[in-house]
Chain A
């Protein structure tokens, strides 16, 4: 009997999705749908928070007051994105701190781009331009994701990400138009971040194990390769515009596909970094773990204090 019911529920669920009706926290949903979302949204939240670190690395060394303020505001926005996303995860019945512990234990992943070091000021430009730029490509379709709370969080997040992208591009533009040293710094940052940015879209479609189901559930609207192509098409002319060169000899406009052809991605590097062997994997997770560890007495104190106050007013 129960099995029949579940099938019926699943059918109705898929009908709703097909009609573009949003799924809300209290609606019935298949366990797999819930698990997929918990995994995806918490990984997204972790990416926002871990993503604060490479840019946080340059706040204290920002070259002028305006840049320092803009960078502070940007990194603060990322923390805010983390918060909305953890809230979205909680609407699915997961516990925020549990998902964070999974990050710290290495069980949960985050965007592997943040495992690359930020070596010069120009990296602040490259990250805003390329990394926030790639994030927007990934996230704009998520504003129409079938799960209501995630879709709504993405609407807010995307507005700020596009602001970050423009600021990053502005930093790069300024450097590219600056002294030879500055231009070299900009080109070097582009060289280091270009390929990792392309990897942000995930494996090629043929190797992407979740794509098909996620498309059917409208968690995903475009494949990894479609989004990557879109990113290349938009970004290559931007680099040209400011006089920088994308580090790929195979970049060539292709009329027949109305887009750029580009070279092969080093997937071995990608899997190495995902697997924990990137240049900064250890430092990033360690920094987050330390923050939680060093803050535990503060959290305990706040809880104890709230408890005392509750008793007093009771």
Chain B
């Protein structure tokens, strides 16, 4: 594997995480629990679609047969999407949506912070832009985790359930394969040790404020990073790819 091939795969993974989570959140537009939250969720979705646009544009330029970001976003087979399973999980209720977001943001923030120092200039400049947005996302999601956790009995129960269900997907955020190792050696991407400990600290702090506890079930799901998805993914893609598949080779 060459550096370029490894980088392609890595950037695609970042782009797919943003794309699929952005797509999930966009389903909620117009259906938020209150108007202010509808606006916030749409805003986060918009940021993520923006990040996906940049990451996938870069990935496309690294691919062997040059591809546009739209081709990558809309015309791959399911097995070629490399997002973590966490981001493709259904929105569920508001607590599920927030918990999924929180587990993701808590990882993205330290990752993007370190990626700013990447030897790869394009990657570092996308990271810098995305970091600004992610700081806001994490503040937003952690505030809601605390509010729901320490709100009513009902909300506490609901968000604890969300955590119990979603926590086992968080492990995959720290997935490493030969592409990552190669890029780490060349200082293009950071090692994950610090990022993992920062992530754990954020989770610990926020859950404590929220009076929530980590689930005892320690089962760890993975597969998305290797293109092995959950049953939800096919439906998400069917919807997202609908226009491109129905009307091939047209401009919009």
20 A-B residue pairs with Cβ-Cβ distance under 8 Å, sorted by A, are A49-B30, A52-B29, A52-B38, A59-B26, A59-B29, A62-B243, A63-B243, A65-B70, A65-B73, A66-B53, A67-B252, A68-B49, A69-B50, A69-B53, A72-B45, A294-B33, A295-B32, A298-B95, A302-B151, A305-B151
Q: When each residue 113-128 of chain B gets 1 if its CB lies under 8 Å from chain A and 0 otherwise, what string results?
A: 0000000000000000
Q: Which residues of A contact B252 (CB under 8 A)?
A: 63-64, 67, 121, 171, 174-175
Q: Which residues of A contact B191 (CB under 8 A)?
A: none
Question: Which residue on A lies nearest to B98, using beta carbons?
Answer: A298
Further 19 A-B residue pairs, CB within 8 A, beyond A179-B250, A295-B33: A53-B30, A56-B31, A63-B74, A64-B73, A65-B56, A65-B73, A76-B39, A79-B30, A79-B39, A178-B250, A179-B247, A297-B152, A298-B34, A298-B94, A299-B34, A300-B151, A301-B147, A302-B151, A305-B151
Interface range for A: 35 or more
* Distance in Å: Cβ of B145 to nearest Cβ of chain A: 11
List chain B positions with a Cβ less than 8 A from chain A: 23, 26-27, 29-39, 42-43, 45-46, 49-50, 52-53, 56, 69-70, 73-74, 93-95, 146-148, 150-152, 154-155, 158, 239-240, 242-244, 247, 250-252
Q: Which residues of A contact B30 (CB under 8 A)?
A: 49, 52-53, 56, 75, 79, 287, 291
Question: Which residue on B lies nearest to A124, using beta carbons?
Answer: B252
A100 to B251, CA, bound (A): 40
* Distance in Å: Cβ of B163 to nearest Cβ of chain A: 15
Chain A residues touching B, majority SS: helix
> A308 an interface residue at 8 Å Cβ cutoff?
yes
A305 to B148, CA, bound (A): 8
Query: If A56-B29, A174-B252, A297-B152 touch, does A76 touch B43 (CB 8 Å cutoff)?
Result: yes
A221 to B118, CA, bound (A): 59
> A182 an interface residue at 8 Å Cβ cutoff?
yes
- Do A65 and B53 touch across chains, with their CB atoms under 8 A apart? yes
* Distance in Å: Cβ of B32 to nearest Cβ of chain A: 6
* 9 nearest A-B pairs in the assembled complex, by CB-CB distance: A295-B33, A301-B151, A301-B155, A56-B30, A63-B243, A52-B30, A63-B252, A298-B33, A76-B42
**Which of A69, A83, A298 contacts B35 (CB under 8 A)?**
A83
A299 to B94, CA, bound (A): 11
Q: Which residues of A contact B158 (CB under 8 A)?
A: 297
